[in-house]
Structure formats: C-alpha cells, structure tokens
Amino acid sequence: MSWLPFPRSLFSRLVLLLLFGLVLAEAITALVLTRDRGEAIQRAAGIHSAQRIAGIVKILDQMPAVQRQEIVDALDGPNMRISLSIPPQGEQNQAPPTSDGTLFRGVLHYYLDDDRLIYLSQVDSTARQHFNSMNELPMRMGRGSGMHDMMQRHMAEAGLILPSEGANLIQVELRDGQWVSFGEQLPEEMTAWPLRVILALGLVLITLGLVAFLAVRWITSPLAYLADSARALGKDLQRPPLAEEGPEEVCSTLRAFNTMQAQIRKFVDERSRFLAAISHDLKTPITRLRLRSGLLDNAELQEKFERDLNDMEELVQGTLEFMRDETGNERRQALDINDLLETMQIDGEEAGSKITLTGRAQSVFYCHPVSLRRMINNLVDNALKYGGQADIQVEDSKEYLKISIADAGTGIPEPQIERVFEPYTRLDNSRSKETGGTGLGLTIAKNIALTHGGTLTLRNKKAGGLQAIIILPR
C-alpha cells in the first residue's frame, strides 16, 4: 500500500511535497524574522525611553527645587507622564523583576552614570491621581462616552497616552533626595506580521512555487514520454528507437529502453524465422507422404493417411499465420468497417450460414486491414462452427469501436475461458475432430486486438451461447 494514496501521479506528488516544504520553510522564516524584529524594536524603544528619562533626570538634577515643577509641567504630556508628588513606592510595592525590567533599569543606570535608586512598578489608581489630568487626552470629549473610551484605547495602543491598565511607573531619586516619577508604557515584544513582510513572503512563495512546478514538469516529462513509448511498443514492435536526449540519467534510461526494444525485436524475429523455417520444411515431407499415400491399395488406410496429413498441413498453415500476425509489419490504413461486416454477412448467407448484423460504425477505422479482417473472420468462423450462428453487433463512439460476436452454442466453462487464448489449446466439449481447428484461432485474434491497443474478451451469455467482445481504441 502506498504511503501517499493521493495524488497518484509522480508529478503531482513532487509538486505537493515541494510546495509543502516551501510553505513550511516560509512559515519558519517568517516566525524567526518577526520574533527577531519584535525583539530588536522592543530593545531599541526601551533604550530610547531610558535615554529620554535619563536626560530629563539630569536636567532636573541641575535645577533648583523651586523651578523643577515648571520643567515637569512643560515636559508632561500624554505619551509620558511626569510627576514630583508621587512618593517612592519602595521595595514592598515593586513589581516582580522581569528580564525586560532588569534590562531597562540597567540601561537607565548606564545613561545616568551612577547607581542611584530606581523603582519600577505599575501605575495604580493612587499614583494616577498625582498626574495632571489636563494632559490625559488632547481632545474635548465627555468622560465615559463610547467615543472617548475608543479613542483612549487606540491612542494607548499607538503609544500616545498611557493605557488605563498596565502602565509602568518609573521612579528615580534625584541628587537632593527628591523623587521624580515617570508614567510610561514600556514596549512589549512585537510579534505582529507587517503587511509588507507578508506580501514579500507571499511573492517569494509564488515565485518559488512556479519554479518548482516548471522544474518538476521538466524532470518528469521524460517519464511520461517513456510511458507513452512503452505503450506504443506494445502496438508496434517495429517502431523507431527513442531519441536519447536530456539529462544523463534520462539518457541512460532511454538507452536501456532502446536496447530492450532491439533485443525483443531480435528475439521475436529469430523465433518467427525459426518456426517459419520449420513449418516450411514440414511441407516437403507432408507432400511426399501425400504422394506415397496415393499409391496405397487399401482405401480405408489411404483415407486415414489423408486425414492426418490434412491436419498436419492445417497446423503448419495456422502456425505460419500466427507468426505472421505477431511480427506486426503491416502498415495502418483506413478501413470501412461497415463494408467489411456487410460483405462477411452476404458471403456467409450465400454459403448457407446464419449471420445477423446490427449497428454501424460512424466513420472509417485506422488499423492493419488484413490482420483485423483475419481476427473478425476467426471469431465469426468459431461462432458458426461451434454455435450454429453469428450475431454481430457494432457500437461506435469517439473513444472506441466495439464489435460483439455472439453464437447460440453451449458456451465455455468459466474456469477455462482464459485458457482458450493459449496457443494450441482445444477444449473437448467445444472442439472435436469433426469441427477441426488447430487451437490458434483465438490466440491469433487476441494478439491482433492487442496489436491495435485493444482487448478481446469472452463471456457466456445468460440465455446461452458465447459472446466475443472486441474493444479497439480510436
């Protein structure tokens, strides 16, 4: 059982696997890229905030205590709140240290050039009351309104004002012991995917997907060519060898295919010549025996000799026809199937045979005319010989031509239906010395059907009799 039941074609599987790998690689790259980008932006924003706070603290350190409030009022704004009235929160109210808070405190110490006390905590409702409420929202809207809450949320997300929850309280001790408090939203790690990054990754995925599609088609096209050639070889053993083009592996495969075709053709030709020579050579002793049997005085013995010699001659002739059909040297030509079958029907009726014909072919059929005529003749002769009649039915379409030949005989036992296609096979219940036969008729007929790329099957009819069904692709 295949580990990947769908899709079935190698081309589709390779494209699917490559696209899956590309999507997975793009997803991993995007995750790493956005995480690194978020961390870099977070650190840069934190450093910038620490620099700004350190600069304000240095300015306040140099100012007299009575003038500091003026500077604080001037610098206080919606994006950074400053107050001198919030008492130090102390260690008991300090939020648990985090890696981001520790880093921010270390950067702030670095820019202040000393180790003064710095407290980090959360802005609570008590601390928020010490900030100047006039600088909370630079818009005149009624408190508690939906528009006010929405604008408050969006401006907090943009970093323009402090959010209602989660704002950080940064308290720094000045040199004279006074404390200055900053309310600011420290940057969080950014993991959102910017539209430009998404578009860039999508464009890369589409480009690589198209390249993968074309590459897989280019790689697998020789396999399709080889499959078509193998099917064509079954129809025509004498077809020209394949062009050995493409990558080295493909050329090696095509070369091996051409070698196999040459070996098969050589084997078939040698076997055909061998059997044809034997069959031809047998004619000479058969002819001598026939002449000598004519000199016998015993008429009964002479009749037996003649009957055996006729059987031998029929066997030799059948073998020659069988080998001639296997070579497949006949060229394809247009054949009028309707004219062929009507002629068979007329000739059969003139000879006293019962042949019926229904259905018509829609157009001429390109085939090996002599071989196709021999196949239909064999099946019609079998129907007349073993079933007393031949009912021919034609069904035609754009895809295939179907010819059914049925008789009214006893049929063939189901276990032996396939066996009758073997060369020189004769079934006792269907053939006898009175009817004759070499056991090659059905074998020849099936080989001719296969040569045309079609099939020949036998089946017993429910009402009695045997039906031979020929299906030939157009």
Averaged pLDDT for residues 451-458: 89
Averaged pLDDT for residues 213-233: 77
Would you give the distance in Å from CA 116 to the centre of its chain? Answer: 68
pLDDT-derived band at 330 (thresholds 50, 70, 90) equals low
Query: What's the pLDDT at 258?
Result: 87
What is the spatial distance between Cα 385 and Cα 342, in angstroms, rounded to a whole number? 19
Q: Are strands 390-396 and 355-358 parallel, antiparallel or unpaired?
A: parallel
Tally of CB atoms within 10 A around 353: 18
Q: Which residue has the higher pLDDT, 370 or 268?
A: 370
Structure tokens at 16: 């699917």
- Of all residues in the chain, the percent with pLDDT exceeding 70 is 78
Across the strands, what pairs with 241? none
pTM of the predicted model, to two decimals? Answer: 0.46
Biggest alpha carbon–alpha carbon distance for the chain: 159
Phi, psi of 208 (to 5 degrees): -65, -35
The phi-psi region of residue 33 (left if phi > 0; otherwise alpha if psi is between -120 and 50; otherwise beta) is: alpha
Q: 111 near 50, Cβ under 8 Å? A: yes
The crossing angle, in degrees rounded to 10, of helices 299-327 and 369-387 is: 140
Query: What's the pLDDT at 139?
Result: 40
Question: Does the structure show a pLDDT above 80 at 414?
Answer: yes
Q: What is the DSSP string of 375-407?
A: HHHHHHHHHHHHHS-EEEEEEE-SSEEEEEEE-
Query: What's the pLDDT at 306?
Result: 83
User: Per-residue pLDDT tens for 375-413?
Assistant: 998 899 989 988 889 999 999 998 999 999 999 888 888
Query: What's the pLDDT at 187?
Result: 54
What is the spatial distance between Cα 187 and Cα 164, in angstroms, rounded to a whole number? 15
Averaged pLDDT for residues 292-312: 81
Cα angle vertex 415, ends 411, 416, to 5°? 60
Query: What's the pLDDT at 60?
Result: 92
For the ranges 134-138, 199-203, 432-436, which has the lowest average pLDDT?
432-436
Query: What's the pLDDT at 57?
Result: 92
Phi, psi of 58 (to 5 degrees): -65, -40
User: Per-residue pLDDT tens for 146-177?
Assistant: 555 555 555 444 444 444 455 788 899 998 88
